[in-house]
Amino acid sequence: MRDNDIDFDYLDLESAGLSAPFSIEAFCGSARAGTLTTNHGPLQTPCFTSASNAAGLPELGPDELREVGVQALVVNTAGLSHHLGAAAIAAVSDLHRFLGWGGPIIGTVGSEQIFGLTDSGGVHGRLLGVTEDGVTFADHLDGTRRTMTPESSLAMLEAMGVDFAVPIYRAQLKPSRRTPDPELDRQWAERAMAARSRNDCLLLMGIPIHAIQGPALASFLTSLPGDGYAFAARPVTGLNARSEGPNGRFRHLSDDSGPLGFAQAVQGGFDCISSQAATRAARAGLAFTFAGPVSLADGVSLLDRQPIEPGCPCYTCLNFTWPYLQHLHTAQELLAPRLLAIHNLTFFVTLARRLRTAILEARLDSEVEEIARLYPTSGS
C-alpha cells in the first residue's frame, strides 16, 4: 500500500442480498485484475472502454469496435435524447439492439450535462431548478419541461437493458450551485438503490469531478450504496484495493488522458477506464505506439514500406504503410482518422491487456514506468 493510498471498508454485496458478479483475481499495490460477469458477456479487468456522447464513435461502427477488442461501451443517453427527443428514448426498450452492440453497456443519463446547464439556457437546454426530489430542466429542442429523479433516471436505464446504470445523483451538482447537504446526497443514493428492479444491472454511483479528496473520500464512498462507482475524474489519492475482499465494488473512470494517464489510473485501482483520447489523437494525426507517439506530420521516406507500428495486429497496420496514411492525412481524407482510430483503439486495448498481465505477475510498477518513459506526461 502506498503512503497516499486511502482505505475504505468493504461492502459485502452478497450478504446485502445483491448480486456480486465482480471477482477479483489478483492485487498488485492498489491495482487489481478481475472478471466481471454481465448478461452480455464478461469483462476482463482492467479494461478499456469506448465512450461517446451520442452512442457509437464518430469514426467506427460497433463491428469495428468488436474487431479491435473493445469490451464495453459507455453510452450517454442524454446524447441520444438530444438528437431523438425524450419520447423516442423512452420507446427504446433494447439499447443493445438499437445500437447494434452485443457487449456490455454502461448507461449514464448525462448528469454532468444536466447539472452543467445554466439558468439562462444554452445549446443543451436550461436548468429550471433542483429540489430535494430531483432536477427540472427545459429540453433544448422544444423547451419541454422535464424532471429527472434518482428513481426515474434509474428506471429509464433499466428499461433500456443496460448492464451498468449510473443514475442522476445530487452530489454531481457543482458545490457553488447547491447547499452542502451530505445527508440529502446520501438519500438520493439510497432512493436510487431502493428503486432498483433488476439485480442483473449493476448500480454505479456517480462521483463528480469536484469530489472531496483525501481521507474524507473514503468515508464518502463507504457511505454510498450500490455495486460500484463511476468517477468523472481520477482522484488525487489512490483507491486501496486490499481492503476489499474477492468480490469488490466495481470502479469505472471517465478519463481522457493518454497512455500514461490510463496506466496510472489502473495503478490507482480503477477497473474500467473510458477515454476518447484514441479517437481525438487520430483526428490530429497522432498514433500511439509501444515505441512512443508517432505524428503523421513527421517526415517519412516514400520508400518506407513499414506500417505505423510493425507487429501490431490491427487492420490498419496489416494493410497500410506509414507514407500512405501520411498522404491521406495531408489530403484530409476521412479515411485517415478512421484508420488511425482503429490503430489507436487497438493500442489501448493492448495496453489494458499488458497491464492486466503485469498485475497477475506482480510487476505492474515496472510496466507503468516503461509507459512513463515513452509518454512523459499523463495527458499525452
Grid-cell match 476521412, residue found: 334
Say how far apart CA 253 and CA 27 lie, in whole Å. 18
Which part of the chain contacts Zn ion (CB under 5 A), choosing from 19-27, 116-124, 306-314, 332-340? 306-314
Rounded to the nearest whole angstrom, what is the least distance from the CB of residue 346 to Zn ion in the complex? 5
Q: How many chain residues interact with Zn ion (CB under 5 A)?
A: 5
Say how far apart CA 165 and CA 227 lie, in whole Å. 10
CB-nearer residue toward Zn ion: 231 or 348: 348
Say how far apart CA 322 and CA 304 lie, in whole Å. 7
CB-nearer residue toward Zn ion: 147 or 319: 319
Instruction: Report strand pairing: 41-45 vs 31-38.
Output: antiparallel
Rounded to the nearest whole angstrom, what is the least distance from the CB of residue 302 to Zn ion in the complex? 20
SS3 292: strand
CB-nearer residue toward Zn ion: 299 or 310: 310
Backbone angles phi, psi at 353, to 5 degrees: -65, -40
> Which cell numbers in the block locate residue 118?
445554466
Say how far apart CA 364 and CA 355 lie, in whole Å. 7
Rounded to the nearest whole angstrom, what is the least distance from the CB of residue 337 to Zn ion in the complex? 14
CB-nearer residue toward Zn ion: 82 or 343: 343
If one asks whether residue 252 binds Zn ion (CB under 5 A), the answer comes out as no
CB-nearer residue toward Zn ion: 207 or 314: 314
* Residues near 208 by beta carbon (within 8 Å), at least 6 away in sequence: 112, 171, 172, 232
CB-nearer residue toward Zn ion: 160 or 349: 349
CB-nearer residue toward Zn ion: 149 or 346: 346
Residues 334-373 that bind Zn ion (CB under 5 A): 343
Rounded to the nearest whole angstrom, what is the least distance from the CB of residue 344 to Zn ion in the complex? 8
Rounded to the nearest whole angstrom, what is the least distance from the CB of residue 279 to Zn ion in the complex? 14
Q: Which 8-state DSSP code applies to residue 213?
A: -
Rounded to the nearest whole angstrom, what is the least distance from the CB of residue 245 to Zn ion in the complex? 39
Say how far apart CA 281 and CA 283 lie, in whole Å. 5
Half-sphere exposure at residue 187, Cβ-oriented, CA atoms within 13 angstroms: 9
Other Cβ atoms closer than 10 A to 247: 17
CB-nearer residue toward Zn ion: 71 or 316: 316
Rounded to the nearest whole angstrom, what is the least distance from the CB of residue 102 to Zn ion in the complex? 24
Residues 309-338 that bind Zn ion (CB under 5 A): 312, 314, 316-317
Say how far apart CA 257 and CA 51 lie, in whole Å. 13
CB 301 within 8 A of CB 311: no
Rounded to the nearest whole angstrom, what is the least distance from the CB of residue 263 to Zn ion in the complex? 19
Contacting positions for Zn ion (CB under 5 A): 312, 314, 316-317, 343
